[in-house]
């Protein structure tokens, strides 16, 4: 089975981590990875998500896992609504 769905990839830079300072995080699935470059971190986190999805599928829990993340594997899938909204606070 092959499905496509959008994911959010948050990129952070950890200057203390010299070998792999870029951290990529996919909050919908709580999966993260790192890399020496931003591109490598993004590639690594996608590979990590593939591994997670393969393992969940082996357990027979893929459909529920995807639905919990807001993704439906059928053709009528609706993706989670994403809103970018400015936030300000007086400190």
Q: Provide mean pLDDT across the span 30-52.
A: 97
List pLDDT tens digits, range 7-23.
889 999 999 998 999 99
Distance CA 72, CA 4 (A): 10
Instruction: Delineate the domains of the chain, giving CATH numbers in brackets.
Output: 1-91 (3.30.160)
% pLDDT > 70, the chain? 87
List pLDDT tens digits, range 58-88.
999 998 999 888 887 665 555 566 677 888 8
pTM reported for the whole predicted model: 0.78
Q: Are the C-beta atoms of 64 and 73 separated by less than 8 Å?
A: no
């Amino acid at each position: 089975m092959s499905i496509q769905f959008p994911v959010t990839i948050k990129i952070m830079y950890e200057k203390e981590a010299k070998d792999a300072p870029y951290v990529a995080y996919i909050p919908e699935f709580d999966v993260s990875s790192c890399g020496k470059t931003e591109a490598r971190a993004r590639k690594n986190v996608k590979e990590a998500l593939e591994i997670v999805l393969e393992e969940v599928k082996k357990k027979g829990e893929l459909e529920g896992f995807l639905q919990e993340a807001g993704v439906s594997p059928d053709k009528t899938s609706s993706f989670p609504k994403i809103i970018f909204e400015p936030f300000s606070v007086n400190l």
